[in-house]
Structure 1
Amino acid sequence: MRITCSPGFPGSMIGSIDLQPSKYYSKPSINSKITDYVDPELITIPYVEDSEFGLHFDNMKVMNGTYKDEMHVSYDVEFTIDVDKKGYITQFEHTFQLERYLDLVRTQSYKVIKTNWRGQTFHVMTYSYLEEVIHPKNVLFKCNNAEDVFVVAELMPHRVGGIVVQPNNLYLHFRALISARDDLYPLDYMCEPDFDLSLD
């Protein structure tokens, strides 16, 4: 899975996560600076089987509309999150501190978890620390009415430099993707670590 990090606004980085392999997808970047900061032996996206993990999602509110329907209604985003014609998410971008990105890689917080939920098998792709992914105040958005892919999100007031500047506007923080569509989100791609760090 391609997860990039490059300079953005002053004091922060812009991260981009390609959730699906693009037809233009290339092999992991050989120019990435990630091994300058993280031990190469830690650079991996673990695959874990935990049949009980899906129970965490039973504690979360499922929003009425799809992810796309709810945008600008129940939440806003820093950047547009790309979806295909059927509403499945293909890519998202967000800002964060460089140290958070490095620590997420170092702690192997980006991972794929096979679990059971709602009576079927799902794969959960995590993009945050575990405690952020399973927080009971998170909400779930279905990608479409097939209800075979969901977004796990935390909705928080907009902050700049740690200070709340828009208390009445909730911004979506993408914590995980729950997918029963291995055809759209293939495991060999999701588990391939492609952490592309650029500091230029």
Structure 2
Amino acid sequence: MRITCSPGFPGSMIGSIDLQPSKYYNAPSSNSQITDHVDPELVTIPYVEDLEFGSHFDAMKIMNGTYKDEMHVSYDVEFTIDVDKKGYITQFEHTFQLERYLDLVRTQSYKVIKTNWRGQIFHVMTYSYLEEVINTKDVLFRCNNAEDVFVVAELMPHRVGGIVVQPNNLYLHFRALISARDDLYPLDYMCEPDFDLSLD
């Protein structure tokens, strides 16, 4: 899975996560600077099986509309999050501190978890620390009415430099993707670590 990080606004980085392989996808970048900052043995996306993990999502609220329907209604985003014609998410971008990105890689917080939820097998792709992924204050958005892919998100007031600047506007923080569509989110791609860090 391609997860990039490069200089953005002063004091923060811009990252993007390609949730689906594009037809132009190449092998992981050989120019990444990630191993200059993280032990190469830790640069991986673990695959684990935990059939009970899905029970964490039972405590979360499922929003009324789809992810796309709820945009600018129940939440806003820093950048546009790309979806395909059927509403499945293909890519998202966000800002964060460099140390958070490095620590998420270092702690192997980016991972794929096979689990059981709602009576079927799903794969959960995590993009945050575990405690953020399973926070009961998180909410779930279905990508469409098929209810075979969901977004796990935390909705928080917009902050700049740690200070709330828009208390009445909730911004979506993408925590995980829950997917029963291995054809759209293939496991060999999701588990391939492509952490493309550029500090130049």
Pairwise same-fold verdict (TM > 0.5): yes
Distance (Å, rounded) in 2 between the aligned partners of 1:15 and 1:151: 18
- Confirm or deny that 1:137 pairs with 2:141: no
Q: CA deviation at 1:190?
A: 0.1
Q: Deviations along 1:70-97, whole A, 9 cap, x unmatched?
A: 0000000000000000000000000000
1:119-158 equivalence runs, <5 A: 119-158=119-158
Please give the secondary structure, in 1, of the residue aligned with 2:64.
Answer: strand
Distance (Å, rounded) in 1 between the aligned partners of 2:46 and 2:26: 21
Q: CA deviation at 1:34?
A: 0.2
Distance (Å, rounded) in 2 between the aligned partners of 1:65 and 1:136: 19
Q: Deviations along 1:40-88, whole A, 9 cap, x unmatched?
A: 0000000000000000000000000000000000000000000000000
Q: Deviations along 1:88-114, whole A, 9 cap, x unmatched?
A: 000000000000000000000000000
Q: Deviations along 1:5-50, whole A, 9 cap, x unmatched?
A: 0000000000000000000101100000000000000000000000
Q: CA deviation at 1:116?
A: 0.2
Distance (Å, rounded) in 2 between the aligned partners of 1:77 and 1:194: 24
RMSD after superposition: 0.2
| Unaligned stretches of 5+ residues in structure 1 | none
Q: CA deviation at 1:165?
A: 0.1
Q: Deviations along 1:179-198, whole A, 9 cap, x unmatched?
A: 00000000000000000000
Q: CA deviation at 1:174?
A: 0.1
1:67-82 equivalence runs, <5 A: 67-82=67-82
Please give the secondary structure, in 2, of the residue aligned with 1:54.
Answer: helix
Distance (Å, rounded) in 1 between the aligned partners of 2:94 and 2:56: 25
Distance (Å, rounded) in 2 between the aligned partners of 1:180 and 1:5: 28
Q: Among the aligned pairs, what percent are the same residue?
A: 93
Distance (Å, rounded) in 2 between the aligned partners of 1:26 and 1:4: 14
Distance (Å, rounded) in 2 between the aligned partners of 1:137 and 1:102: 25
Distance (Å, rounded) in 2 between the aligned partners of 1:28 and 1:8: 22
TM-score where L is the length of structure 2: 1.00
Distance (Å, rounded) in 1 between the aligned partners of 2:179 and 2:74: 22
Please give the secondary structure, in 2, of the residue aligned with 1:64.
Answer: coil
| Unaligned stretches of 5+ residues in structure 2 | none
Q: Post-superposition, which runs of at least 4 consecutive aligned residues in structure 1 deviate over 4 A?
A: none
Please give the secondary structure, in 2, of the residue aligned with 1:92.
Answer: strand
TM-score where L is the length of structure 1: 1.00
Distance (Å, rounded) in 2 between the aligned partners of 1:26 and 1:3: 13
